[in-house]
A and B are shown apart, each in its own frame.
Chain A
Amino acid sequence: MTTEPQRIIEIMGRAVPLREDNVDTDRITPAVALMEPTFDNMAAYLFRDARKSDPRHPLNDPKYQGATLLVVGKNFGSGSSRESAPQAITRAGFRALIGESFAEIFAGNCNVLGIPAVVASHEAIALLFAAAERRPETLYRLNLETKTLTFEADGGMQRLAIDLAEPRRVALLSGSWNSLAMLQANEARVRQVAAALPYMNEFR
């Protein structure tokens, strides 16, 4: 772990479209991935079963090699709390996700790993799916400060509004996304809160 906070402001790159709602974390990293005691090899498990059974899966498509953005649908990352899912995504080279919505635990896991999981409107996502499918070489610029996604399409610049819960945006921009240091800073206060809880004193 680095001790220098890494501020995440802007991400640039090409995008892979994953056109499906309710993609659960069992699909992102199947159970076999969880048999590994560390996250080191997670990239190999990213959508492993789906990629095997569907040769036309976008992640099998050489056109999207080297993409750094993942465009997804609604309720992405539902189900299991497994951190292997965002770990696989980031270790496979993705730096951010743009979707219609994200499941709660998955979004929290992305946040502590410094992966922006930003939302955009249904229409904006539809536009992105179409753009990424038609012209895989399109470069996108995701900016957390201005909350925009810009890219070139049909000869002009497209500018879409994106959003992210404010605390998460602040955490990414300030480099405090792995909240450990912030949590450690309040140690004395933690002891106080604990001491005031009846069950911490066996209800004496």
Chain B
Amino acid sequence: MSHGTLYDKVWERHKVATLPTGQDQIFIGLHLIHEVTSPAAFGMLREEGRHVAFPQRTFATTDHIIPTTSARRPFADPQAEGLLAVLEESVAANGIEFFGLDSGSQGIVHVIGPELGLSQPGMTIACGDSHTSTHGAFGAIAMGIGTTQIRHVLETQTLALDRLKVRRLDVNGELRPGVTAKDVILAIINRLGVGGGKGYAYEYGGSAVERMDMEARLTLCNMSIEGGALNGYVNPDEVTFAYLRGRRYAPRGAAFERAVAYWRSVASDSTATYDDRVRFDAAILEPMVTWGINPGQSVGVTQRLPEIAALAEEERRGAEAAYRHMKLRPGDPILGTPIDVAFIGSCTNGRITDLRAAAAVFKGRKVAAGVTVLVVPGSQAVNRQAEEEGLPEVFRAAGAEWRGPGCSMCLGMNPDKLVGEQICASSSNRNFIGRQGSPRGRTLLMSPAMAAAAAVTGKITDVRTLEREPS
């Protein structure tokens, strides 16, 4: 069993009791909700005449269903309008703070939690959304939950949880230019498998992670769940504290200094023991691209797609199904794979540094003929920042569409959907069949710069070669 890790310390501080079943009851410090998974939980609450135990510890926003061309109400889709209306009524009735469309702070739940300073080190964070692991970037135990569990948090501010084992992932060395946190996490999932993290919390560390800025760490932790790990986290350090200083919900003045002391105290001890340890060499990684129907099916951009026979036996069936769906061939290079759509956004890569990386590629270039490109900021704040920096002009000049904040084409719950068999270079986190709104649609996951490179060339392109030969 792990000992002295951040996970152990935060768990102990939040533990209320051991339940008769043997599970632990854990206090949830921050509860985030959105319009999709919480309405049914509020419905259960209402039916039973219950109330929210700690309304000041739940914060709401809206993201999944937002049309990104115009968020004017009522929405054209009555179901979308209905979901948002239920959320609005519920937060009003329960005294929950809501970052709605007219708040100036609306956005994807995993983008706004960090940027508002709500997500902090040493917290337990829950949200009815699997990518809640994102907030672990601050050094928190952050987890996705289902709707019945949302109800548990609303009514008791606690959850019945199984304590996980802790796996330390050391990523040491220097990432080469053009290689990002997205590539690191795709490489990790490729090696350990999409189910490899089951039963574990992932602690990311090592010199490459220490050098990452907060936004890169958010990308890294975001996809922990794609590797099967319910939680992923980075120990809080100076980068974390500098990011939090001055944010709206971060402590101020002397309280901030006391907070830093607490935050330091929850970081894993140098003598901590882990249940498992895996090492990665950052210097050998290259930009990654997925070719299949789960985020573990990926290759380095200069590699060829794996032959079925070269795969572990248990992966072969899945690979065959993936090739059938993707209409790709084993042995072909991933370079040059033609694309129809590029999507830059999502809770994985919809923050300002992601948009800057994409803009650097689009600048002075044109989107390839026949390719549709959506660039979607993760929040209203990211939107404002991008506008201040003149990024929308860069995207528009290249022929990309600059949209309003939301989940957009990451999933098919709003008008931004793939059509038919379209193939999409996407900076999001899931290449599941049907994920982008068309049952036959195809998704290739990659970093924002790689998606932009695909957009301007019309095919999968190594962004590093593009940078050497500006058009």
A24 part of interface (Cβ distance < 8 Å): yes
Docked CA distance A3–B50 (Å): 14
Residue contact B25 to A81, C-beta cutoff 8 Å:
no
Residue contact A112 to B149, C-beta cutoff 8 Å:
yes
Query: Considering only CB atoms, which chain A residue lies closest to B30 in the complex?
Result: A199
Residue contact A78 to B194, C-beta cutoff 8 Å:
yes
Residue contact A183 to B25, C-beta cutoff 8 Å:
yes
B94 part of interface (Cβ distance < 8 Å): no
- Count chain A CB atoms within 10 A of each CB in B23, B82, B128, B251 and give the residue with the most: B23
Residue contact B146 to A83, C-beta cutoff 8 Å:
yes
Q: Tally chain A residues at the interface, Cβ within 8 Å.
A: 66
Given contacts A20-B318, A34-B36, A81-B37, contact A186 B146 (CB under 8 A): no
CB of B13, distance to nearest CB on chain A (Å): 7
- Size class of the B contact interface (CB-based, 8 Å): 35 or more
Query: Considering only CB atoms, which chain A residue lies closest to B147 in the complex?
Result: A83
Query: Considering only CB atoms, which chain B residue lies closest to A21 in the complex?
Result: B318
CB of A106, distance to nearest CB on chain B (Å): 8
Q: Which residues of B lie under 8 Å from residue A108 when comparing CB positions?
A: 145-146, 149
Residue contact B259 to A24, C-beta cutoff 8 Å:
no
CB of A94, distance to nearest CB on chain B (Å): 17
Residue contact B156 to A180, C-beta cutoff 8 Å:
yes
Given contacts A79-B430, A183-B152, A197-B13, contact A166 B22 (CB under 8 A): yes
Residue contact B37 to A113, C-beta cutoff 8 Å:
no
Interface of chain A residues 180 through 195 with chain B (CB within 8 A): 180, 182-184, 186-187, 189-190, 193-194
Docked CA distance A190–B430 (Å): 36
CB of A200, distance to nearest CB on chain B (Å): 7
Residue contact B122 to A190, C-beta cutoff 8 Å:
no
Q: Which residues of B lie under 8 Å from residue A101 when comparing CB positions?
A: 195, 198
Given contacts A37-B82, A74-B314, A194-B54, contact A174 B21 (CB under 8 A): yes
> Which residues from chain B sit less than 8 Å from chain A, CB to CB?
13-17, 19-23, 25, 27, 29, 36-37, 39-40, 43-44, 47-48, 53-54, 64-65, 77, 79-80, 82-83, 86, 120, 122-123, 128-130, 132, 143-149, 151-152, 155-160, 162, 194-195, 198-199, 225-226, 228-230, 251, 255-256, 258-259, 262, 294, 314, 317-318, 321, 411-413, 430, 432-435, 437, 439-440
7 A–B contact pairs at CB < 8 A? A20-B317, A35-B83, A105-B144, A182-B21, A199-B29, A199-B262, A203-B258
